[in-house]
Amino acid sequence: MPPTIGYLLGEFPSLTETFILREMKELVRQGLRLHIFSLTRPKSASDPLPAELAPVHVDYGPGRMDPSLLSRAFRGLFSGGPSRPRIEAATDRWLKTLAEHREIVHLHAHFANEPALTAMAMSKASGLPFSFTAHAWDIYCSGTPLSELIAAAQFTATCTEANARYLHAKCRSEDRDKIFLVRHGIELEPFCSEDWRPSKPFRCLAIGRLVGKKGFDVLLKALGILNDRRIQTVCNVVGDGPERERLQQLRKETGVQDTVQFLGARPPSDTLQRLRESDALIVPSVITSEGDRDGLPNVILEAAANGIPIVASDLPGISEFVADEVSGLLASSGDPKSLADKIEVLAADNGALAETLRRNARRIVEEEYDIRKNVGPLIALFNQFSNASIEGACSE
């Protein structure tokens, strides 16, 4: 059997992790063979899997563990003491799979918490090399001892320069050359060349889990300010999460209960269609008191690829893509008035500014975020650090 990469995921497929799905789809399209290990089964209905992933074997594990137990589990793995039953169960189950599938030559996990922890446990038990991709919450808030995890892995990938700087600061100096910037990518369809004109009312869309770091409370307050200014807007919020009840109450308090709809989690195809029907994507991300934050939300890439103007907060990861009045509009993070001002600029635009923003954003996506190009560095890393070369398995 040709060499295969074992991909460890928290949930497969996941409504909120379409960027991982795109990555795997393109790896397979370019000839790489994958075997998926997923800690949990999908919680929500999603679109059918891409045809490229239909033949890929998926092994499901015993579920995910309480995040508060991750650090203890990690210490147990290094000390030789007990880790956690769920990691041990997944490892025991999947070690049998590895024994039956000798073609698996490398393990790669997405997220520097339980998936990477499980990959490390499997690596220690099997002798296979492992690596992981780090994203956002898993870096800043999961409690995983990042220095030890980076030291144990063959390499660490991450999707923004801001994340890479943070990981460099957390790891040993001798491990810094094991951290690689591997940007997410997107499948590019023909650009919509129709002239952009704002609707009345102005149609906003926000996408993401209803959690603190997404800043949807800031968005509701900004829409309330616009309502007071008699700037007509409507806004759909796609996503679900623990903040829903609080945000629905805030929607009443800010007087926008008639113009803001919470649509819940939606399949990617439905979300994409709603994006294409919007005047602007609003990304009001913040850094929470716990330190949680977004990197570069993939909805920004989706909007840019589809010619939808972007209004976002000025967090470091976001600013790597969105430059104010160049590829989008940047508001001060956590500042409702600043966000309202930026939305108002677009709502009053005659099309000239929006046309500049969307064409510049599309150009950046084409040059730096084409998934066909962006999996190349990942394939090269697998070749460099795997137990067997996979070069013969890949083709353009």
pLDDT of residue 1 exceeding 80: no
Do residues 74 and 174 share a domain? yes
Do 173 and 30 fall into the same domain?
A: yes
pLDDT band at 83 (very low <50, low <70, confident <90, very high): very low
- The confidence score (pLDDT) of residue 225 equals 98
pLDDT of 217-227, one tens digit each? 999 999 999 99
- Asked if pLDDT for residue 52 goes beyond 60, the answer is yes
pLDDT of res. 192: 67
Q: Which amino acid is at 347?
A: A
Inside any domain, residue 197: no
CATH number, domain of 84, equals: 3.40.50.2000
Residue 105 has pLDDT above 90, yes or no: yes
Nearest to 355 by CA among 325, 378, 313: 325
Same domain for 124 and 63, yes or no, is yes
Please check whether residues 381 and 334 belong to one and the same domain.
Answer: no
C-alpha distances out from residue 371 to 187, 359, 374, 388, Å:
6, 19, 5, 25
**Is the pLDDT at 25 greater than 70, yes or no?**
yes
**Backbone phi and psi for residue 233, each to the nearest 5 degrees, phi listed first:** -140, 155
The torsion angle over the Cα atoms of residues 251, 253, 256 and 261, rounded to 10 degrees, is 20
**Widest CA span in the chain:** 66
pLDDT of residue 193: 61
Rg (CA), the chain: 22
Residues 149-180 as b or e (16 or more Cβ within 10 Å = b): bbebbbbbbbbbbbbbebbeeebeeebeebbb
Q: What is the mean pLDDT of residues 111-138?
A: 93
**335 falls within a domain:** yes
- pLDDT, residue 92, reads 78
Residue 192 forms part of a structural domain: no
For residue 144, what are the contacts with CB-CB under 8 A and spacing of at least 6? 70, 71, 74, 112, 113, 116, 117, 138
Assess whether 289 and 364 both reside in one domain.
yes
The reply to whether 362 and 382 lie within a common domain is no
- The per-residue pLDDT for 44 is 75
Structural domain that includes position 308 = 202-368
Q: What is the pLDDT of residue 304?
A: 96
pLDDT at 394 > cutoff 70? no
Residue 202's beta-bridge partner residues? 233
Do 216 and 119 share a structural domain? no
> Does the pLDDT at position 360 exceed 90?
yes
Omega before 201 cis (within 30°)?
yes
Average per-residue pLDDT for the chain: 90
pLDDT for the residue 386 = 86
pLDDT at 68: 47
Give a yes or no: residue 175 inside a domain: yes
Residue 15: pLDDT over 80: yes
Q: Within this chain, do residues 35 and 177 fall inside the same structural domain, yes or no?
A: yes
Contacts of 302 (CB under 8 A, 6+ apart): 186, 272, 275, 281
CB-CB contact of 304 with 361 (8 Å) = yes
The total number of structural domains that make up the chain:
2
Q: Are 154 and 37 in a shared domain? A: yes
Contact 119, 98 (CB under 8 A): no
pLDDT confidence of residue 158: 97
Q: Average pLDDT, stretch 19-47?
A: 91
pLDDT tens digits along 269-322: 999 999 999 999 999 999 999 999 999 999 999 999 999 999 999 999 999 999
Alpha helices in 80-215 (DSSP H): 85-100, 114-126, 137-140, 146-152, 161-170
Query: What is the rounded CA–CA span in Å between residue 26 and residue 396?
Result: 10
| Together in a domain, 44 and 169 | yes
pLDDT interval class at 393 (50, 70, 90): very low
Mean pLDDT of 334-342: 98
Q: Dump pLDDT digits (tens) for 165-218.
A: 999 999 999 999 999 999 999 998 876 667 788 899 999 999 999 999 999 999
- Mean pLDDT, range 239-264, rounded to an integer: 97
Confidence check: pLDDT of 77 > 80: no
Cis, peptide link before residue 50, omega less than 30° from 0: no
Of residues 64 and 362, more confidence is placed in 362
* Pairing status of strand 33-40 against strand 57-60: parallel
